[in-house]
Structure 1
Amino acid sequence: MANNCRGRSNLQSFLDSTTPSVPSHKLPKSCCRAVQEPLTGKDKDSVEFFILGDLWKQYYEWSAYGASVPVRLHNGATVIQYYVPYLSGVQIYPHKATAASRENSGNKSSSDSEYKKLAGLDAASQGFDLGRENEWRTSEHARHLYFEFFESCSPYGRIPLVDKVLDLGKTYPGLTSFKSTELSPASWMSVAWYPIYHIPTTPSAKELSVCFLTYHSLSSLFQDHIKGSMANDLGFIRAGKNGTKSEKKNHMSLPPFGLATYKLQGSLWTSFESGDHERINSLFSAANSWLKQLKAQHHDFNFFTTHWVNMRCLPCW
């Protein structure tokens, strides 16, 4: 089967290699209101958060050169497949208090006291919950849309993720200045990963042409819940692009809560022993449920879905 040199599948290798790891900051919970689940990280006395600008910096090198993904071929040889990231979709929902604060301060970042108060809000009070089968429930009155973007151009007409964000940020500065504690659990982004080349070259490159969509939460309220409920099930090392066995000090990884694929055929990328069949179906279902509940028309997901249905009966698992 498609296992790499560490005994993990190539799908897991892709997820390892493309999970962003961003500088983290902490707020003492003593400064906040009582925090309930899902804000129960490794340090139960503090709330971990990141700044959106730091998240986009993770994609600088990937946007310029591609993210390197080790892929083990059927003959046992390993190639490095490079993937370029594109911003596929994003919705930014600040807390209502955050939105009001930014409007009153000329769209500047909220004060420390403001986001400390926001960090103390539990997910239930915001109308979100992660139940069985990765069902996300939302409440209309809990959301205030600041910005949304859905890419509709063909892959050949797109610009890399960082360039797109910098362009959009000229009109929507919150896209780089928001803190994850300022955002409602409805806030998310999707990255489209398209293969560009592999080293060394190989004549049997058909199975290397697979494309991916990854979905990531942008809110602190659900980061721990995603890691606990979904990332553990992935069975991959949540360490960002360095692939170390533990996250870098003072960094936090943002594992995907959803996934969709295109051209994922054959057995190169998936391994039955690694539980990839259940894993990929679970992540696809989570993405599908998420978009439906937010009533989001995600163009890339719709395109991938038309091909996903045709794949599900293939005996490649």
Structure 2
Amino acid sequence: MFATIAFTIFVFFKELSVLRRKIIHIAISLVIAVALLWLIYYKVSERLGMFDFRIVVSLLFNSSMKVFIAILFLFLMPLNWALEAWKWKLASSTVERIGFSKAYIAVLAGITAGFFLPNRVGEFAGKALIFPLRLFWKGTVVAMFTSLAQLFVTIGLGFVALWHFAPIASAYFQIGAQRLFLVLALVGFSALLLVYFNIQSIAIIFRKLPRLHRVMSTLTAISFSLKTKILVVSIFRYFVFTIQNILLLIMVEVELPVIDMFFLISLMFFILAAIPTIFITELPTRGSVMVFLFLMYFDVGGIVVPFAVEMKLLLAASIVWLVNIIVPSVPGIFFLTRMSVFRKEDS
């Protein structure tokens, strides 16, 4: 009888402990969700408050062609993140196989988690939370690798952009920069490919730290063919979000040759990759770099600066940021709080 009572009390307190953990989990999730929603609202209202809404609508939708471009631009947003999810699905197979829908959820959670750390590095942890806790750190390493693949594409095409504008720069500054930039692009590309396809060698650095070495050794499971697939998907994704920027520039009536717009945007991404930013400064930095590059292009090319081009560029940068980062981060809040670190080990 006493044993039964004792067992009943034990079960009661055990269940109470589980309930308490769940309540704490829910409370923390709600706090995170509310804080993120407030941060998003504050940042969006602050940045878009500089624009007159009626003028913006009139500028963006004053023709049926612009409406079509807007629809295409919006369609490219889920495609952009679908490519990232596909890349994550491919890479995560070295840790634990997940389906495409689960990979997409992890990517959305990663976007939201990116708000917490500079240069959106929180995305690594956000994606890795899709795995059981015992695989979290291995998942984080693989997530870092997929981001590294995207970074290498950004840097590589940044070198190409430098080479593309070399003739203009040579004429303006009266220096023979074209050959220099060609050599720089070729050497840069070769170095990036060498590092990328031998990334598993980084584990050797940590061989005297067994636990860290074991986690970093996850990179050895990524085969050459898998690295190639991830790199190809990264290139496709790069073109998708670059085209999004071009479409917005067309909508706000920044009139330049499309090829020059492409490489100016490539230079913008190239520069942004080297600038530390946090969520609060991400949009101002992006807008400032875009304005700087385009004004330099007009100056070097001897082109008269179009009327209100600075505001048009800032508007384009703001809309791309709003659609590509803020919109998917809202459902990402829900998924991130569900994939909490308070999960059970075997979940």
- Using structure 1 for the length normalisation, give the TM-score: 0.24
| Higher-strand-fraction structure | 1
| Higher-helix-fraction structure | 2
